[in-house]
Amino acid sequence: MILVGAKGHAKELYQVLRSEGETPDISFFDNVSEDLPRTLFGCPIIRSLKEARKELQKDGRFVLALGGVRARHELYDAFRDIGGAPTSLVSENALVGENVSLSEALNVMAFAAIYNSAQVGTGVLVNSYASIHHDSTVGAFTEVSPGARLLGRSKIGSHASIGSNATILPDVSVGDRCTVGAGAVVTTDVPEGEKVVGVPARPMKK
C-alpha cells in the first residue's frame, strides 16, 4: 500500500493504521519535497511515479495522504493512471451513520462523525472531530478541517476548503472551490470560488 504523501497528514494516517492494528507493507510517496529522508517510520519514501508503478505491482492500493484539494485531485488522477486502486481509510473511531453514501479515496479520521443520509464525494478529507450532519452533501476532493461542523442539509461543493472549527449552518450552500476560514460561521450561501471569514462569515477583502 502506498500512502500518497510523506509529511504531516501522512504521519497522522500512518498512526491511524498502526493504532488499529493494520500493518500492511507501506511505502510513502512524495516527488516534490526536497527535505525528506529516505524512510519514514522505517518505511521507504518513493520519489517518482516510475517507482510507484513498480510498487503498485506488489499491492495495488493507494491512499491519499496529503492536504490541499488540488494536490489530492492531481495525485488521485496520477495514481489511477498508473494502475493504482484508490482506497479509503476510515478510522474505527469515526462515527458513520445509516444510509450514508461514501465515495472512494476518502480519509475519515479519528473522532470524525458523518451522520445519517449524508453524502461524501470522492477524495474528501474529513479530519479529526469534524462532523457532517444529516442529509448534508460534500463534493469531491473537499477538505473538512479538524472540528469543522457542517450542519443538517448543508451543501458543500467540490474542491472546497472548510477551515478548522468553522460552522456551516443548516440548509446553507458553499460553492465549488470556496475557502471558509478557521472559526467562521457561514449563515448564507457562498458563491463559487469565494473566500469567507469571520462571524458571521463575510467575503475577504481583496
Query: In the prediction, which pLDDT does 20 show?
Result: 81
pLDDT score at 21: 78
Query: Before 170, cis peptide (omega within 30)?
Result: no
Could you tell me if 96 and 118 are in contact, meaning their C-beta atoms sit under 8 angstroms apart? no
Q: Output phi, psi for 37, to 5 deg.
A: -75, -175
User: What 3-state class would DSSP assign to 183?
Assistant: coil
The pLDDT of residue 86 is 98
Q: Which residues of the chain have pLDDT under 70?
A: 23, 206
Predicted confidence at residue 40, as pLDDT, reads 94
**Distance of alpha carbon 129 from alpha carbon 127, whole angstroms:** 6
Q: What is the pTM of this model?
A: 0.95
DSSP string, 42-81: TEEEE-SHHHHHHHHTT--EEEE----HHHHHHHHHHHHH
pLDDT digits (tens, 9 = 90+) for 129-184: 999 999 999 999 999 999 999 999 999 999 999 999 999 999 999 999 999 999 99
